[in-house]
Amino acid sequence: MSTFLLQKEPIDTAALRQRVADPDCGGYASFEGWIRNENEGRAVSRLEYEAYAPLAIAEAHRIVNEALKRFEINNALSAHRLGALDVGDLAVWVGVSAPHRADAFAACRYIIDEIKQRLPIWKKEHYADGKAQWVNCAQCASQASLV
Amino acid sequence: MQIHIDYFAILREQAGRQRETLQTDAKTPAHLYLQLCEQYGFELIQARLRVAINDEFCDWSQNLSDGDRVVFIPPVAGG
């Protein structure tokens, strides 16, 4: 069973929650990442997500396998949107089931943190003033020009 | 040597293309990125990127082989 979904369609959290459910588990933790209406003081109107899919999927599987080794959890599943999203949309979802809540919380936190740091996924922010930029890349470009 | 390159995000926009196949004498991804920086004026320095060959992360000093698919990975921003 795939443990990571990369999709243009909205994420069906109820269906994913069912896939994580397990009679051996007494705890379930999930995380939803939403599109905020501002970033670093600038009003955000919409976002575009883009991914290098084969490597993003492979790396996400590695992250889930790491979580399964580090924590006492039974199931973990995550999903990330692609394409154009609006403020308030669900961009990323993580769900974890475990015998007890402490490991469910910890594994959920681990997975979302690693997803944000490691998956080759990019977002372009479009601002209310009509400008747009690739997040994390503008700073890099300006740093490069200082070198 | 023939190399396939896929571009994503800011590099795709600066290169003005999603992918290309080119003949190169570059021995490593590091060397190839330098050549592409000259061609397209990429502003991101290599230190801020990661690189993958054939859909796996790799070292900048790995030897390129004929037919490899190379992707330069700008700073990520998922979530």
pLDDT digits over A96-120, tens only? 999 999 999 999 999 999 999 999 9
Listed by start position, the domains of chain B span 2-73
Task: Please count the other Cβ atoms lying within 10 Å of the Cβ belonging to residue A98.
Answer: 26
Whether pLDDT at B34 is above 90: yes
Say yes or no for a CB contact (<8 Å) between A52 and B56. Answer: no
- d(CA A13, CA A1) in angstroms, rounded, equals 17
The yes/no answer to whether this complex scores an ipTM above 0.90 is yes
Q: What mean pLDDT value characterizes chain A?
A: 93
**Closest chain A C-alpha to B49 CA, distance in angstroms:** 10
Q: How many angstroms separate the most distant Cα atoms in chain A?
A: 57
58-117 in chain A: CB under 8 A from chain B: 58-59, 80, 91-92, 112, 115-117
The pairing of beta strand A75-81 with beta strand A38-39:
unpaired
Say yes or no for a CB contact (<8 Å) between A140 and B71. Answer: no
CATH homologous superfamily of B2-73 equals Beta-grasp domain (3.10.20.30)
Least confident among A36-40, A66-70, B54-58, B71-75: A36-40
Say yes or no for a CB contact (<8 Å) between B43 and A141. Answer: yes
Fold for domain A4-146? Aldehyde Oxidoreductase; domain 3 (3.90.1170)
B68: its two tokens: 């490899």
Alpha helices in chain A (DSSP H): 13-20, 53-70, 101-118, 137-146
Interface A:B, Cβ pairs < 8 A: 92
Listed by start position, the domains of chain A span 4-146
Q: If you measure CA to CA, which chain B residue comes closest to A54?
A: B55
Identify whether the C-beta of residue A78 lies closer than 8 Å to the C-beta of residue A3: yes
B56 contacts in A (CB within 8 Å)? Answer: 55, 58
Q: What's the burial of A48, exposed, middle or buried (CB within 10 Å: 0-12/13-18/19+)?
A: middle
Identify whether the C-beta of residue B12 lies closer than 8 Å to the C-beta of residue A134: no
pLDDT digits over B43-60, tens only? 999 999 999 999 999 999
